[in-house]
Amino acid sequence: MSKPVILVTRKLPSAVEARLSADYEALLNPQDALYERDELLKRAEGADAIMPCHTEHFDADIFERLPKSVKIIANFSVGYDHVDTDAAKKAGVVITNTPDVLSDATAEIVMLLIIGAARRAGEGEHLVRTATWKDWSPAFMVGTQVTEKTLGIVGLGRVGKVVAERARGFGMKILYHDAFRQEEEEKKGAVYFETMEDMLPHCQFLSLNAPNLPSTVGMLNAARISLLPEGAIVVNAARGTLVDDEALIAGLKAGKPAAAGLDVYNNEPGIDPRYKELPNTFLLPHIGSATAETRDAMGFRALDNLDAFFSGKEPGDRVA
């Protein structure tokens, strides 16, 4: 019996590709090329499954044109907002994701963003790299101390809970806004706010950890930024869509928020160039899950879903 054919849209970790090639007929992408729509559909001819990343977008048009042989899309990602799940259901295509495996790695990046933005790490590195660091003085590169400050978290889900735990290591007080109360977190001292508007005036630091939903697009807007206290710092390692760029850039120029640490953006990698011109931004290139351990775990989780599907079982991480 022939092995199922799996189209892989990006270069994956070696261990993941080795397991994939052992169990399936794998159509790999060793050059890590970003397939355009027509190229993706062409390569999907004869495939039984596709293993994409968030860089490929599966909208209604794609599902209408997708070869009928494709029965499952096993995402190499936790987020699946790049997939029109309603169109997938209509086309009879199963969709899975890879939850639970990247919380630690992403939380580390959140803490890096918090510390990097607060301690002006981007500015400091630029001084060293350009040999423009001249001397030391008591007024030189003075930033904001993180220890024992108040952190507001929007979205206390898998990543948000790990962020809270890491932040407690710095003695930070945790506030949170979420669609659901988190009693276990409240037992650890987290304070719940029913609305962002109620929470924001108390946030010396604000971490966005919400998913990309119609209700969260542009959630950090001018009105909400105005509610932050003076000196507040904002970080986002969730989805760029959570931020109204015009509002945040205007706020940063005016000094409120005092700084921002960003790992995700609207229209990435073609981000708004004004962010790069601002001295009070600490910018990373969407590397929240970029550890060897996490990327392997993501791939193995996606393969577990494929294994279940092709053995006639329900994939454990089915989202559509």
For the chain, list the domains and their CATH numbers.
5-101+292-310 (3.40.50.720), 103-283 (3.40.50.720)
pLDDT class for 236, splitting at 50, 70, 90? Answer: very high
Catalytic residue among 54, 239, 295, 301: 239
155: confidence class by pLDDT, cuts 50, 70, 90:
very high
Average pLDDT across the chain, whole number: 97
Please report which confidence band the pLDDT of residue 135 belongs to, taking 50, 70 and 90 as the band edges. Answer: very high
Q: What is the pLDDT of residue 60?
A: 97
- pLDDT tens for 271-301 read 999 999 999 999 999 999 999 999 999 999 9
Q: Are 269 and 245 in contact (CB under 8 A)?
A: no
45 is catalytic: no
- pLDDT tens, residue by residue, 60-72: 999 999 999 999 9
- With a pLDDT cut of 70, the percent of the chain lying above it is 100
Instruction: Band the pLDDT of 4: cuts 50, 70, 90.
Output: very high
The whole-number pLDDT of residue 167 equals: 98
Verify whether residue 239 is a known catalytic residue. yes
pLDDT at 75: 98
- The structure's pTM equals 0.94
Query: What is the tens place of the pLDDT at every residue in 178-205?
Result: 999 999 999 999 999 999 999 999 999 9
Residue 202's pLDDT is 98
Name the catalytic one among 19, 54, 119, 286.
286
* pLDDT mean over 217-239: 98
Query: Which residues, 6+ apart, have CB-to-CB distance to 265 below 8 Å?
Result: 240, 243, 245, 271, 272, 275, 286
Catalytic residue flag (residue 286):
yes
Confidence of residue 228 (pLDDT cuts 50, 70, 90): very high
Distance CA 234, CA 228 (A): 10
